[in-house]
Amino acid sequence: MPAAQSRLENALTYKTTPEFWKYYQKLPRDIQSRADKQFRLLKRNPNHPSLVFKKNAARELLVRKN
């Protein structure tokens, strides 16, 4: 893993809210599995081309898959 990528990965903080988990638990199992896979990808390679970052009104980073 390149040093710059390693620093970026270490700089990212992942947080969820109780509301997130409430909605996550309501998702079908196959969607939960896909979300889990994308989160593992995010942790492993935050610069992966299938991940897109944007800031929301609260200036938090959001991730969506193209």
Q: Is the pTM of this model over 0.75?
A: no
Tens of pLDDT, residues 14-56? 888 899 899 999 999 999 998 899 889 888 888 888 887 766 6
Instruction: Identify each DSSP E strand in 1-66 by its residue range.
Output: 51-55, 61-65
Query: Tell me, what's the pLDDT at 26?
Result: 95
